[in-house]
Amino acid sequence: MKLVLFDCDGTLVDSQHVIVAAMGRAFARAELAMPPREAVLGIVGLSLVEAMQRLGEDDPRFPAERLAELYREAFRELRTEPNFSEPMFPGMRGLIDRLAARDDLLLGIATGKSQRGVAAVLAHHGLEGRFVTIQTADDAPSKPHPAMVLQAMAATGAEPMDTVLIGDTSFDMVMARAAGARAIGVSWGYHAPDLLTQSGAERLATDADELQRAIDELWETVA
Catalytic option among 7, 162, 168, 172: 7
Q: How many CB atoms lie within 10 A of CB 159?
A: 13
Q: Round to whole Å and give the CA distance between 178 and 4.
A: 16
Q: Is 209 marked active-site? A: no
Alpha carbon distance 7, 112 (integer Å)? 8
Q: Exposed, middle or buried, 182 (CB in 10 Å: 0-12/13-18/19+)?
A: buried
User: Is residue 139 annotated as a catalytic residue, yes or no?
Assistant: no
Q: Residues 9, 162, 168, 172: which is the catalytic one?
A: 9
Longest dimension (CA), the chain: 56
State the helix-helix crossing angle for 64-79 and 16-29, rounded to 10 degrees.
Answer: 130
Alpha helices in 81-206 (DSSP H): 92-100, 115-124, 147-156, 170-178, 193-198
Peptide bond into 144 cis (omega under 30): yes
- Positions annotated as catalytic residues are 7, 9
